[in-house]
A = this chain, B = another copy of it.
């Protein structure tokens, strides 16, 4: 199995030639790939594992797999009654939102002993992929050659919106057009939506993230990173045809396993120039930024238990991102990996040769380099005042500004034809947008003020306090004064006011005395401009990568998987340990290991045992496997993904990758990179013995519930 991936140092021309030959004969590394369910790696599975997934096997796994729209992440249906298994760190935000003084579910855990105790999660949505359809031709037909990037982008956005709207109208299903192969193909994905989702069980944070930020992205691990939700339809638990049976025997070293989930984003098709830009500019910039954000959050958390509770979700998110970015940067600063990427690119360019049909592909490299440079130069401003859908602009952190911006943009966008709108404001996304906007997740004034004070300070430091936009934003006040005025003067925490402004639209907003609405309006033109610069260059990248993708197809056929795009993928691999600094790291940990590690650290945070785990030690079979690693090719977004056996039965769930796996966003390696999962046997042991949640274990085992397969 472990052929490893150890790209050469400085390559001689001969080595490049060998690599060229190799590219055609041994196209993929061992267990590499995040495969489309409609184009699974049949050949590799057959050759390496003598396994061929049947269409039924694939369909069942696909329809049992769940995507968390609001919080990102993956999960699976695990009972006929709509029970969903995912990670505690996916459910954490919901548990946080359900908490208040006196009942801190995120910290202390929660278990609904009866269905009526299950807690509705306002604003939460999960999706299940029910069908896919290729729409590449229709998208490309809408894009005549020689359009400017801006017009091409608008035209593509328009045709995609039309396809999505049409599909929604026809099927009532959530419909998303997904660009694949860096824009080489487009597929229409249709999802069943579940918007009544309730919290069933979440363990205390100490048990789920034992070892905290210290052990995050590390292995061995001792974390029960699980959480159960239940999907409801019409006020009743959803009745499901497809859900995963649980194999109480779990899995063993060297077993073949599959991971079905929603990897968010990979950059495997990046050119060398792009990877160098990430190494030298973007990742260092993000690492600086994340540290700059993490410190004030830690300081705020240090004020006491209640501030810590308010900040915890964001702090964990930032720490996780910081370790992720740091790990990727460390990976890219390994010259051997960079040389490997460079040689692969040189080899591919050699394969292109001088053939006329590859002229576009050759030219693409220069276009990509130039566009990447422009994106990079724009990035500081972009991160500062525009941000992305999943990351608020760093100059205006906090939930209140996000609400203000959504109101301002919704009014502007909804007056346009659907196809000309920013994607997140198109009709197909309206339901999700409104769920988020009208979520009654609590808003903490002091926390909002701190975030905004720090944001505005960062803005002033980045552009200068005297820069005209900054001066307008600050309005002659210090960041602290201005933040207090914005937070205390805003009525946006009032749901009725939010609804009124949303329904009334543009004119009401323009005349609104709400200082946050006014701020969002003030910043919007510059923010849109930063986004436009970015989007235009992304369009150039898309077109150039499409040219490269076409050349790859011409040379390689369809035996490739596309880069991750937050859509459902199938990965596979072997349950297997690895070596680190000369020492073997075993594939499995067990419950005994948890107690050992806590003792080693004298039970000090973040290695303190949760009180229940300390009390119930005598109830547990300490030989029970706890966490395990496998070589399956995963990334962020795979959190909560079911790990299934050849029989398609649940043996665990992914909750992390190790540090060495972080660089696989750019290039897969399986020498040390591993996906980290909770073993289903730990789940079945802990639920009854630690949490008195025997009925939940019974439901997992199919012994209870209203339906069976």
Contact = CB atoms under 8 A, between A and B. Distances in A.
A276 B466 contact: yes
Interface in A469-493: 474, 476-481
Given A280-B460, A283-B461, A330-B457, A606 B292 contact: no
Interface string A600-629: 111010100000000000000000000000
Interface in A292-341: 292, 294-295, 298-299, 302-305, 322, 326, 329-330, 333-335
A329 B299 contact: no
A326 B292 CA distance: 11
A602 B305 contact: yes
Most central of A212, A287, A462 by chain B CB within 10 Å:
A287
A265 B91 CA distance: 50
Nearest to A476: B335
A292 B302 contact: no
A59 B298 CA distance: 46
A474 B304 CA distance: 43
Contacts of A294: 291, 295
A402 to B, nearest CB: 23
A98 interface: no
A305 B604 contact: yes
Contact of A292 (B281, B288, B604): B288
Interface string A356-372: 00000000000000000
Contacts of A330: 457, 478-480
A284 B334 CA distance: 31
A287 B334 CA distance: 29
Given A213-B299, A214-B302, A335 B477 contact: yes
A268 interface: no
Contact of A284 (B9, B295, B462): B462
Nearest to A277: B464
Contact of A334 (B303, B333, B478): B478
A479 B279 CA distance: 13
B329 A461 contact: yes
Contacts of A509: none
Nearest to A458: B284
Contacts of A284: 458, 460-462
A214 B477 contact: no
Prevailing SS type, chain A contact patch: helix
Range for the number of chain A residues in contact with chain B: 35 or more
A104 to B, nearest CB: 13
A224 interface: no
A113 to B, nearest CB: 29
A133 B205 CA distance: 65
Contacts of A461: 280, 283-285, 287-288, 329
A197 interface: no
A612 to B, nearest CB: 19
A333 B291 contact: no
Contacts of A606: 302
A479 B288 CA distance: 17
Contacts of A334: 478, 481
A465 interface: yes
A476 B335 CA distance: 6
A287 B280 contact: no
Nearest to A606: B302
A369 to B, nearest CB: 14
Contacts of A477: 335
Contacts of A295: 291, 294-295, 322
Contacts of A474: 333, 335
A448 to B, nearest CB: 17
A299 B334 CA distance: 22
Contact of A478 (B285, B304, B333): B333
Given A478-B333, A478-B334, A466 B280 contact: yes
Interface in A423-480: 457-458, 460-462, 464-466, 474, 476-480
Contacts of A466: 276, 280
A604 B306 CA distance: 12
A476 B458 CA distance: 35
Interface string A634-661: 0000000000000000000000000000
B305 A478 contact: no
A279 B601 contact: no
Contacts of A322: 295
A478 B335 contact: yes
Interface in A174-228: 212-214
Contacts of A291: 288, 291-292, 294-295
Nearest to A303: B214
Nearest to A212: B302
A283 B280 CA distance: 24
A343 to B, nearest CB: 15
A657 to B, nearest CB: 18
A167 to B, nearest CB: 44
25 contacts: A213-B299, A214-B302, A276-B465, A279-B460, A280-B460, A280-B461, A280-B464, A280-B465, A280-B466, A281-B464, A284-B460, A288-B291, A288-B292, A291-B292, A294-B295, A302-B606, A304-B600, A304-B601, A304-B604, A329-B457, A330-B478, A333-B465, A333-B474, A333-B478, A334-B481
Interface of A: 9, 212-214, 276, 279-281, 283-285, 287-288, 291-292, 294-295, 298-299, 302-305, 322, 326, 329-330, 333-335, 457-458, 460-462, 464-466, 474, 476-481, 600-602, 604, 606
Given A333-B478, A335-B476, 15 more contacts: A212-B302, A214-B303, A276-B466, A279-B465, A285-B461, A288-B292, A294-B295, A298-B298, A304-B604, A329-B457, A329-B461, A333-B474, A334-B478, A335-B477, A335-B478
